Amino acid sequence: MTLQISSSPSTALVITDVSIKDNITIFISHVHLANQPLIKMVHHAVFITNMKVELFAIRYGINQACIKENMSKIIIVTNSIHAVKKIFDSKSHPFQSHTMAILNKLQNFFIKDRKNSIEFWECLSHLKWRFHKDVDKDCKSFNPTLSYPCKTS
């Protein structure tokens, strides 16, 4: 199924993961598009909530998928399905800036074509699914160098 999805020219497969080490949060997104090089983005932040980082990683993946022409299906694979549920939570919560940005991007994606779709798949790390395992390995092996180490106190 994954090979079929990754070979479809109109489907974007986005895999995200988050890791926290010494109050530094690393979040990585891999975006697989047919016949194109892997888009790999690494971000890190200091003293940020896990939920905010997970939403940002999802937001980034959606942004990358939406800027490509002829994308009609986006599949987000994450081990943080609880973060996905926040996107569609209409109640007031501290992550609304991210959810509004995600929903705005998705609105534009669906306006392009009513047949466009998005799916959210949960993949827990212990399942060791190859694509998620690669992102998880990158996330855990990344060692950021702080530009201003004095500002971490």
pLDDT digits (tens, 9 = 90+) for 83-116: 788 777 777 677 777 788 888 888 999 999 999 9
3-state helix vs strand vs coil in the chain, percent to 5: 45, 25, 30
Q: Which of 5, 12, 16, 26 is nearest to 116 (CA)?
A: 12
- Between these two residues, 32 and 140, which has the higher pLDDT value? 32
Q: Report the 10 Å Cβ neighbour count for 37.
A: 8
What's the rounded Cα separation, in Å, for the pair 13 and 93? 28
Residue 4: predicted pLDDT: 67
What's the rounded Cα separation, in Å, for the pair 32 and 38? 5
Q: Is 81 a residue whose pLDDT tops 70?
A: yes
| Least confidently predicted of 46-50, 54-58, 123-127, 146-150 | 146-150
- Between these two residues, 75 and 88, which has the higher pLDDT value? 75
Residue 117: predicted pLDDT: 93
Residue 98: predicted pLDDT: 77
Residue 40: predicted pLDDT: 79
> Stretch 15-43: mean pLDDT, rounded?
77
Tokens of 134: 């690669």
Residue 153: predicted pLDDT: 43
Q: Where are the alpha helices (DSSP H) in the chain?
A: 2-7, 50-67, 81-87, 96-112, 130-141
In this structure, are residues 73 and 113 in contact, taking their beta carbons and an 8 Å threshold?
no
Q: Give the domain ranges of the chain.
A: 2-143
Q: Is 121 a residue whose pLDDT tops 70?
A: yes
Superfamily (CATH) of domain 2-143: Ribonuclease H-like superfamily/Ribonuclease H (3.30.420.10)
For the chain, what percent of residues have pLDDT higher than 90? 8
The confidence band for 146, taking pLDDT boundaries of 50, 70 and 90, is: low
In this structure, are residues 55 and 48 in contact, taking their beta carbons and an 8 Å threshold?
no
